[in-house]
């Protein structure tokens, strides 16, 4: 039973790390949008897409740290 409890804790920790890591990648991607040579409308669509992915990851893996 203790092993199961430890495994559950490490799994939750790994999920939080996944969310945090993905969130950092989203922030990096959003900062790169400024330098892209595409229309403003395309930038907005990319931004909305990245934010949607971020929401999905948070909902799937749990809240951010």
Please check whether residue 65 lies inside any domain of the structure.
Answer: no
Q: What is the pLDDT of residue 41?
A: 93
Please check whether residue 48 lies inside any domain of the structure.
Answer: yes
Q: Dihedral sign for Cα 47, 53, 56, 60, please.
A: negative
Q: 17, 22, 32: which is closest to 52 by C-alpha? A: 22
Per DSSP, 35 falls in state G
pLDDT in tens, the chain (65 residues): 455 545 555 555 556 677 777 778 888 888 888 888 889 999 899 999 989 988 888 888 776 55
Q: What is the pLDDT of residue 36?
A: 81
Q: What is the pLDDT of residue 52?
A: 92
> What total of structural domains would you count in the chain?
1
In this structure, what token pair is assigned to residue 25?
């990648």
Which domain range does residue 41 map to?
2-60
Q: Which long-range contacts (CB under 8 A, 24 or more apart) does 46-50 make?
A: 50/26
Q: What is the pLDDT of residue 65?
A: 52
């Amino acid at each position: 039973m203790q092993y199961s409890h430890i495994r559950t804790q490490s799994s939750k920790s790994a999920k939080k790390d996944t969310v945090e890591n993905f969130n950092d990648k989203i922030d990096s991607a959003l900062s790169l949008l400024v330098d892209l040579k595409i229309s403003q409308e395309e930038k907005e669509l990319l931004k909305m897409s990245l934010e949607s992915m971020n929401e999905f990851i948070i909902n799937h893996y749990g809240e951010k740290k």
